[in-house]
Amino acid sequence: MAEPTRYAEVILPQALPRLLTYRIPADMSHAAQVGMRVVVPLGRKKLITGIIRNILEESEFAQDAKDIDSFLDDLPIVREWQLRQWEWVADYYGCFVGEVMAVALPAALKLSSETWYVWVGEEEEGLNDQETRLFEAMRTRGRMNIDEVMTALDVRNPHALLKRLIASGRLKTEEEVREKFKPKVVEFMVLHPSMTDDASLRSVFDELEKSRAVKQSELLMYFLSITKWISGAHAECPRSVLLKQGYSGSVIQGLIDRSVLIQESREVGRLTSNQIASEATHGLSDAQQRALEEIRVGLSTQQVALLHGVTSSGKTEIYSALIEERIALGQQVLFLVPEIALTTQLIHRLQRFFGKRLGVYHSGYNQQERTEVWNMVLANRPGECDVIIGARSSIFLPFSRLGLIIVDEEHEQSYKQHDPAPRYHARDLALWMGRQDGIHVLLGSATPSIESYWNAIHGRYHLVTITERFGGAQLPEIRLCDLRKEIKAKTLRGGFSGMLLDEIEVALKEGGQVILFQNRRGYSPLWECQSCGWVPECTRCDVSMTYHKAAHQLKCHYCGYITAPVPECLACGSMDMKMLGFGTEKIEEEIQEVFPDARIQRMDLDTTRGKSSYQRIIQDFEEGVTQILVGTQMVTKGLDFNRVHLVGILNSDRMMSFPDFRSMERSFQTMMQVAGRAGRREQIGKVIIQTYNPEHWLLGLVKESDYSAFYEREIKERHLHGYPPFMRLMRVVVKHKEDAIASQAANLIRQHVLPAMNEFVLGPEKPYISRVNNYYLYELLFRFTRQQMAGDFKREMLYRIRRALTHPQFRSCRLHIDVDPM
């Protein structure tokens, strides 16, 4: 009797409003499982990888269902709880589950078909020069993909040509799905089993000497020395080691032919961090021990705890003790950090304690390495990847026994994904996982977010506080430098006050290190005409171009547009162009002029693009190779350096004047965090904050390191104006290449939601930067109660928003939905 036909609902990594249904072929029906990858057709010819979400005996879409092409796995690569996680993210953050899949899975696990072009028949009359060149190339190769066509014809866009040849019947296309993840294979040279004792090797050396095979004899001697061979032992080394020593492939092959060496291909991991031996964690101070015990109590009763510890209070040591306890219980731990820069330093500290139990997962790893970590977590082998340290994307890993999630620096904006959708917040997703699956969550910060601290004050989280630094270190002395007085006294030199330069000189003479913080990269943010005030702006965005001196280019930091600096004003023709303001590149140059003998490095997006660049810069600063470190927010986030005597904050006013209700919170957190890098050991550190407004209330609280007073003032403002945590926000941005259409679409959305939202929808308004990458932007801000945000009301509003843009006139509009915007 024939097996009944079954169907699979498949998640595809696309922004599709529903799951697509496919027929499971009878010969594959027994193998199908939820969470497995399948290759399915999409459209007429395209093949794409999807994940089976449900297996059905019947389907209302059965009549139109296409067959699954093939299965890629023997077992599921995504667990059931992950699929529920994806669905919650899609529902809460107003996107589609396929968009969540696209972000959650490593790219190497998301296969897509590659189009190949094949010439049909022989050469015909009437081909032009370009078509003839393509025919000749295809006759040699058989078939070509788009990149090979571009190279062969030396053109950037061959699509029109290919389309014309396909229409005429001269070309046809074929689709092929390729597995992107390939295990790393290394060739090893192994001593032949017959070479078991000294006598065997002596005879080989004698034979090599008689045949004058000097190079082979030298290679064998080198092989035995590096493998530390003793009689009867196994000996091996990678072939690449021998090649790097200058021994050619023919010399190696000679020893293989003589049955002295054997070449073996082996699959190895790409991750080298597992080679470090573990050691016991250090003892805790009395304050740390008390905090640890409070955290244990809090997690057992409320599942979520907030550790509010001043900078350098030793939170990492407390985390390590908790991780040790969880590993002893057979659980896994996820340690979330906001930046790759933080993982660089933490990895070295945690590897000393956890060795091969530690895995690392973030965007600094290539896709092959990330896929290896995914597979190791999925395999769930005891003693391997028991602890994962990673940035926000590691929240999607396929854990099977996760017991604790640590969210370090929980206040950081980097936990929030801005583009593409889903615009999720890793901290909030961790809290949801805790509620759903009983996982304990520990939040940690010296400057908690207003929302988290409010939740802790009101009993939603267990609050644990540490008010003293580890080892008796003192909080730094914070001084405000009035730039108005510096200008009047003519002691300002470039971007540096006389007070700051004097303190830098003292710190360097004492053998200390200095961190200079400026939250703007590049050389100069403005290139202005002194005659008419004209400023070069990006041709695609309504924003001024930033000058980068090293590349001698004007760059847009929003769309990436690059152009050459203009020698004269394009408005009035004046040659009097002047650079205004300063970024990290200019600070680095000017401080080097003042202290020519100092060793200076810069840490910003421009200097940390390489895979190991973070590690190199941080290691140089840790080892004292670098004396002055200039950086953006990367230098503020939890880094631990022993010899930092001084921190300089060069422009505090710009942070505080940003038009956003969170600007005071972010400014306080940033200044306190960067100040916390100073004086973390015996030396009392100093912090100089340069400002034109030293009387500002926020700077007074920063000077006193008074988080409680800051919170009390800020929470009153939030309550008065209906901002989080009292109301929840959703930002909707409409984008279109025509300003009028974007404006009409945004107003239409307002009309659709106004009957239900009433006064709780603001806008539409043009945002601070109203055009990005040739798209005009209009913004609406929705306010919800906590119950509305989590329930059907928000879903109804999202439905109305999308429905408003179904009119043909607005279908080309782009919709950007951001729930809980940062």
Tokens 């959305």 — which residue?
749
Beta carbons within 8 Å of 134's beta carbon, 6+ residues apart = 119, 149, 152, 153, 161, 165
CA distance 346 to 338: 12
Q: Extract the tokens encoding 766.
A: 């043009």
Q: Would 6-109 and 728-819 be classified into the same CATH topology?
A: no
Write down the pLDDT at residue 615.
77
More confident residue, 22 or 70: 22
The superfamily (CATH) of domain 6-109 is PriA, 3(prime) DNA-binding domain (3.40.1440.60)
> Residue 275's pLDDT band (boundaries 50, 70, 90)?
very low
Q: Is the confidence at residue 280, as pLDDT, over 70?
A: no
Q: Are 733 and 765 in contact (CB under 8 A)?
A: no
Tokens 């997703």 — which residue?
429
Give CA torsion, residues 815, 816, 817, 822, to 10 deg. Answer: -160
Q: Are 307 and 442 in contact (CB under 8 A)?
A: yes
CA distance 780 to 785: 17
> Residue 276's pLDDT band (boundaries 50, 70, 90)?
very low
What is the H or E stretch that residue 455 is in?
A: helix 450-457
Please give the average per-residue pLDDT across 779-804, as a whole number: 89
Q: How far does CA 258 lie from the centroid of its chain?
A: 51
SS3 content of the chain, % helix, strand, coil (to 5): 40, 25, 35
Burial 692-731 (b: 16+ CB within 10 A, else e): eebebebbebbbebebeebbeebbeebeeeebbbbbbbbb
Please give the average per-residue pLDDT across 247-264, as a whole number: 88
* CATH 3.60.15.10 assigned to 477-520+586-717: no
Write down the pLDDT at residue 731.
95
Amino acid identity at 606: D
Write down the pLDDT at residue 343.
64
CA distance 245 to 98: 50
State pLDDT tens for residues 347-396.
777 777 787 788 888 776 777 778 888 888 998 888 888 999 988 999 99
Q: Are 50 and 37 in contact (CB under 8 A)?
A: yes
Angle at 638 between CA 637 and CA 643, to 5 degrees: 110
On average, the pLDDT of the chain sits at 86
Write down the pLDDT at residue 296.
93
Tokens 């924003």 — which residue?
543
Phi and psi at 387, nearest 5°, equal: -125, 125
| Domain 728-819 -> CATH class | alpha beta
Write down the pLDDT at residue 383.
81
Most confident of 246-250, 478-482, 786-790: 478-482
Q: How far does CA 768 lie from the centroid of its chain?
A: 25
Q: What does pTM read for this prediction?
A: 0.80
Q: Are 152 and 134 in contact (CB under 8 A)?
A: yes
Q: Extract the tokens encoding 593.
A: 């002029």
3-class DSSP assignment, residue 526: strand
What is the H or E stretch that residue 390 is in?
A: strand 387-390
Write down the pLDDT at residue 423.
95
Write down the pLDDT at residue 278.
46
More confident residue, 664 or 560: 664
Tokens 């006389």 — which residue?
498
**Lowest-confidence region among 31-40, 80-89, 357-366, 482-491:** 357-366
Write down the pLDDT at residue 702.
92
For residue 771, list its beta bridge partners. Answer: 776
* DSSP label of 67: E
Amino acid identity at 361: Y
State pLDDT tens for residues 114-169.
677 888 866 666 788 888 888 888 877 778 887 788 888 887 667 678 878 877 87
Q: Is the confidence at residue 1, as pLDDT, over 50?
A: no
Going along 398-525, which residue ranges are E strands? 402-408, 440-445, 462-466, 477-482, 513-517
3-class DSSP assignment, residue 812: coil
More confident residue, 766 or 170: 766
Q: Is the confidence at residue 281, as pLDDT, over 60?
A: no
Angle at 337 between CA 332 and CA 343, to 5 degrees: 95
What is the H or E stretch that residue 434 is in?
A: helix 426-437
State pLDDT tens for residues 473-492.
778 889 999 999 999 999 98
3-class DSSP assignment, residue 724: coil
Q: Are 327 and 382 in contact (CB under 8 A)?
A: no
Tokens 């293989």 — which residue?
256
Write down the pLDDT at residue 638.
61
Q: Extract the tokens encoding 765.
A: 């308004």
| Fold of the CATH domain 274-472 | Rossmann fold (3.40.50)
CA distance 728 to 783: 6
Q: Is the confidence at residue 267, as pLDDT, over 70?
A: no
Tell me the pairing of strands 628-631 and 513-517: parallel
CA distance 807 to 744: 12
State pLDDT tens for residues 595-639.
999 999 998 888 877 767 777 888 888 888 899 999 888 877 666
CB neighbourhood size of 419 (10 A): 7
Q: Per-residue DSSP letters for 220-271?
A: HHHHHHHTT--TT---EEEHHHHHHTT--HHHHHHHHHTTSEEEEEEEE-S-
The domain limits of the chain are: 6-109, 113-177, 184-268, 274-472, 477-520+586-717, 524-581, 728-819
By C-alpha distance, which of 93, 87, 8 is closest to 51? 8
Write down the pLDDT at residue 49.
87
CA distance 216 to 246: 12
Q: Which parts of 641-735 fold into alpha helices (H)? A: 652-656, 663-675, 697-703, 707-721
CA distance 392 to 410: 11
Q: Are 590 and 496 in contact (CB under 8 A)?
A: yes
Q: Are 323 and 312 in contact (CB under 8 A)?
A: no
Q: Which parts of 676-706 fold into alpha helices (H)? A: 697-703
> Residue 416's pLDDT band (boundaries 50, 70, 90)?
very high
Phi and psi at 774, nearest 5°, equal: 70, 10
Please give the average per-residue pLDDT across 759-767, as a whole number: 89
Amino acid identity at 93: Y
Write down the pLDDT at residue 396.
96
Q: Is 218 left (phi over 0), alpha (psi -120 to 50) or beta?
A: alpha
